[in-house]
Structure 1
């Protein structure tokens, strides 16, 4: 692409009061309105009136700004350009929204958490965000944390976490099935140097309670996590809530003894990197293998606190053995990856259990998605303001994904937030007034016109093509 030689650009002037850069916010915020975002915040939030008057409008403004690409408080100014004031009311200045966030206490953050969970359930009632009522299969609840970078030296709670990045620790619980992409069911912001498992049991309890209140109720639930979350507190909380667990274990002496007791003929080759499928024997020819053995977790605790289950182990060749002097090893060297699960073998065999557990990595995509959007960094010096920012980012994430499900496009329903934003939200438009009604004039030939029109029609906004 290059500039036209026949029609040169003579000038550029910021002088049109009827242009907007994110016309997709119109159907998006119609959906948020239908799901009761403003009413939920007004009903459940008690931020002091000097800073928190109209909490529903301010929370909606923050969510809308994040959906349109804002990743800082100053970026909320993108809601106050061109004709935005004609399309939306109650659009606040960035300084006002910043003061609103800084007025939050820990209790107010928990109120925002309650708004977020109810908002998710309402979105599921208006869209297929949590799938169809007749869907079947297991529900996966994935738990993991990530370090969100901060800038500046006056950030409350900021520290160098396990990733070596100075920031705050965001703990998330996502819900997904074979039919739906992950949505965020619960969230917590913690100081940067905290242990990964701190508060994870409470977070899992909140996420499982949301599953029971949604259309997913009655389906089997599996809680997945990595070794940082292997604790009796989390496992007991999940089992008490009626869920099974699949959690990576640490290589402690009990686990090593269990792995050593697996007979050599107990290993089964699996589909893995460089595996080849043998049509004759209907098996995989692979260096990666899995096996299982009965295992009782937390055997050092009293009998009633011990949890019986299965230890499933995957082994792969150690391609980078330690340098040794003299003669090399006479035997194959293996690296072992083990996880503990309470799922019965008659429901999910060894190979299938390993495949399902490895898909826990899907939550890493959610972390990356948030960091490419509102969580590029945490903007405030106050810890509670950043915690509220995280809750708003989660609501924006779920709202954007819910809107994508209304397009009837399977690809968009599973797309990342930046992709949905580029195709459906940040579409420019010119505003015109006719018969005391606003009309949006969108670009001719927009590649995703059909998806946008389907979304708009689903929320009661007819869209027409040019004739």
Structure 2
């Protein structure tokens, strides 16, 4: 008689993982998204939590929820993947991390957004007190980065660091790079000041300023979708707000990079006026710019005067020759005696043209060259080969990576129909982007130090843990099987070592 086993077998062994598995609610002390303690602790150590509470404080009003805590927790939730107020409420509900009662409810968060919106100007930029609070925290973060690495990281251009040689002994000092760019945020429903944009969509068109050395957001201004890309007043507002966010010790050597939207008299004249190095030497402040320039009739007239020998082979991001592109300086032909096509523009402004072969199958429009596609930019950098200046200008494309981080931290969707609340939400999304950027430089190593926000979200912020109490100590235990558990512990220790505010 044949005997049979009582054990049930699954036909495909790959499906056996669910056999005998049960799912139920329980397990007190178990924590999800345990890695969110890192940006939370960093904000506390930099003094942001206390500073934000002071900024939104009102005389005679004592909220049950600490407003600085609620705003920082919202910022950390955005960094960890929250996309709306209900996501923030659900993520911060864990008492093991966020304390008794968990985080704030969505109604409390709406009131906190209202209070933050009152500290913003009509253009959505932070008022003086809020700007001072974020600038102070940024200064402490940059000081921690400098303390760990010896200096701020330098922007890479053509295979080398963008630095300024020093006369005294020591390493060359990195040039601080500020990049301005606008982005589109779609709105699925009617919201205050949402409007159609130039791409046929509907929503908002904020203008942003970034520090490329660190990757943090310096300034964000809320604008309707139909806001002009070439609005000089908006560029000047964001430029001034960005300069105000830079610690004083790093304002002496700055490069401002803008695409063609910044090619206006107002913007270039302003940058020329704040560049005091030519007049005052080492006592002044060097502010250089590289700005896209329109290839209009004036520019094409200069290009047509060039000879083939005037064009030089461009270089790529690694500093190697790029046979598919050529560059040439136009300043001489545009400023020809008795025919100065740049009259009225600053005398130190240089114009450089770039050309690439027109792709096969792409027809030229009326008046365009059938063989070449042209681009141009202007700069006030007095020295340097045009190939290097061209490569330096093309690093403006790196700002697209910053926009991805920005939208990954909550800026892809604005949660309210109210303009002020949405403007406040954008400020928190920018702060979340900055916190993750500071975290990479201050506390993380290897691939995590350069990882995108979505990568950090999976590897660090979403780490599981178990909270245990031993000898009056609370210990967050990360499973040893989590591949990045050691990185999380090391990062926590480094943040704990920062001087508490």
In the TM superposition, residue 92 of structure 1 has moved relative to its aligned partner by 0.7
1:334 is aligned, of 372, 382, 391, to 372
Give the direction of change, closer, same or farther, for the CA distance of 1:436–1:272 in structure 2 (3 Å limit): closer
Which shifted more, 351-360 or 238-247?
238-247
Deviation at 1:209, TM superposition (A): 3.3
Aligned to 2:113: 101
Distance in 2, Cα, partners of 1:267 & 1:130: 44
**CA drift at 1:259:** 1.9
CA distance in 1, matches of 2:319, 2:440: 38
Given the alignment of the two structures, is residue 415 of structure 1 paired with residue 451 of structure 2, yes or no? yes
Structure-2 separation of matches of 1:375 and 1:314? 34
Listed as ranges, the matches of 1:324-363 within 5 Å are 333-344=371-382, 346=383, 348-363=384-399
Q: Which residue of 2 aligns with 1:280?
A: none
CA gap of 1:370–1:290, structure 2 versus 1, over 3 A, is same
SS at match of 1:167: strand
- Quote the residue 1:76 is aligned against: 88
Distance 1:114 1:86, change over 3 A: closer
- Measured in 1, the distance between the counterparts of 2:212 and 2:98 equals 38
> Is the CA contact (8 Å cut-off) linking 1:58 and 1:97 kept in structure 2?
yes
Distance 1:433 1:427, change over 3 A: same
Change (3 A) 1:417 1:33: same
RMSD of the alignment, in Å?
3.3
Task: Report deviation, 1:391.
Answer: 0.8
Q: Is the 8 A contact 1:185 1:207 kept in 2?
A: yes
Contact 2:215 2:434 in 1 (8 A): no
Structure 1: 5+ residue stretches without partners = 278-283, 462-467
Name the CA distance, whole Å, in 2 between partners of 1:65 and 1:321.
Answer: 45
Evaluate the alpha carbon distance shift between residue 84 and residue 262 of structure 1 in structure 2; reply closer, same or farther with a 3 A threshold: farther
Any conservation in 2 of the 1:17–1:83 contact (CA below 8 Å)?
Answer: no
SS at 1:445's partner residue? coil
Q: TM-score, normalised by structure 2?
A: 0.79
The answer as to whether partners of 1:128 and 1:405 remain within 8 angstroms in 2 is no
**Equivalent pair of 1:18/1:430 in contact (CA under 8 Å):** yes
Output aligned runs, 1:30-429, within 5 Å.
30-46=41-57, 49=61, 54-84=66-96, 87=99, 91-105=103-117, 107-108=119-120, 110-111=126-127, 112-128=130-146, 132-133=150-151, 136-153=173-190, 155-177=191-213, 181-198=214-231, 199-211=234-246, 213-218=247-252, 220-242=253-275, 243-271=287-315, 284=321, 286-294=323-331, 295=334, 303=344, 306-319=346-359, 320=361, 322=363, 333-344=371-382, 346=383, 348-429=384-465
Structure 2 gap segments, 5+ residues each: 1-11, 152-170, 276-286
What is the TM-score with the length of structure 1 in the denominator? Answer: 0.84
Q: Shift of the alpha carbon at 1:50?
A: 8.3
Tell me the distance in 1 between the aligned counterparts of 2:13 and 2:147: 41
Q: Report the Cα offset of residue 40 of structure 1.
A: 1.4
Change (3 A) 1:321 1:24: closer
1:15, distance to aligned residue in structure 2 (A)? 2.5
Deviations 1:97-144 (CA, angstroms, capped at 9, x unpaired):
023213454544623444333322222223359963466232211100
State the Cα deviation string for residues 15-67 of structure 1 (Å, max 9, x = none).
33322211112232121111001221123335684889743122112112112
Deviations 1:346-382 (A, max 9, x none): 2x21000010101100111111222233112111111
Q: Distance in 2 between matches of 1:271 and 1:264?
A: 18
Give the Cα–Cα distance (whole angstroms) in 1 for the partners of residues 148 and 301 of structure 2. 42
Distance 2:136 2:270 in 1: 22
Aligned-partner Cα distance in 1 for 2:451–2:245: 24
Alpha-carbon distance between aligned partners in 2 of 1:411 and 1:229, rounded to the nearest angstrom: 34
Q: CA deviation at 1:338?
A: 0.6
Secondary structure at 2:16's aligned position in 1? coil
Task: Please tell me whether the aligned partners of residues 272 and 288 of structure 1 are also in contact (alpha carbons under 8 angstroms).
Answer: no
Is the contact between residue 246 and residue 357 of structure 1 (CA under 8 Å) also seen in structure 2? Answer: yes
Aligned residue for 1:372, secondary structure, equals helix
Residue in structure 2 matched with residue 464 of structure 1 by the alignment: none
1:10–1:408 CA distance, 2 compared to 1 (3 A):
closer
Q: Is the 8 A contact 1:225 1:247 kept in 2?
A: yes
Match of 2:480 in 1: 444
Say if 1:272 and 1:458 are closer, same or farther in 2 by CA, change over 3 A: closer
Alpha-carbon offset, residue 7 of structure 1: 6.5
